[in-house]
A and B are shown apart, each in its own frame.
Chain A
Amino acid sequence: EIVLTQSPATLSLSPGERATLSCRASQSVSSYLAWYQQKPGQAPRLLIYDASNRATGIPARFSGSGSGTDFTLTISSLEPEDFAVYYCQQRSNWLFTFGPGTKVDIK
Chain B
Amino acid sequence: QVQLQESGPGLVKPSETLSLTCAVSGYSISSGYYWGWIRQPPGKGLEWIGSIYHSGSTYYNPSLKSRVTISVDTSKNQFSLKLSSVTAADTAVYYCARAPGMTHFDYWGQGTLVTVSS
Binding site for B on A (CB under 8 A): 1, 32, 34, 36, 43-46, 49-50, 55-56, 87, 89, 91, 94-101
Contact indicator A96/B36 (Cβ below 8 Å): yes
**Minimum C-beta distance from B66 to chain A (A):** 15
Interface of B is mostly: loop
Q: Is B31 an interface residue (CB 8 A)?
A: no
Binding site for A on B (CB under 8 A): 36, 38, 45-48, 51, 59, 61-62, 95, 102-106, 108-111
Contact indicator A98/B59 (Cβ below 8 Å): no
Contact indicator B46/A50 (Cβ below 8 Å): no
Question: When A95-B61, A98-B46 are in contact, do A43 and B103 touch as well, CB less than 8 Å?
Answer: no
Which residues of chain B have C-beta atoms less than 8 A from A34's C-beta? 103-105
Give complex CA distance A73, B11 in Å: 37
Question: When A44-B46, A98-B46 are in contact, do A32 and B105 touch as well, CB less than 8 Å?
Answer: no
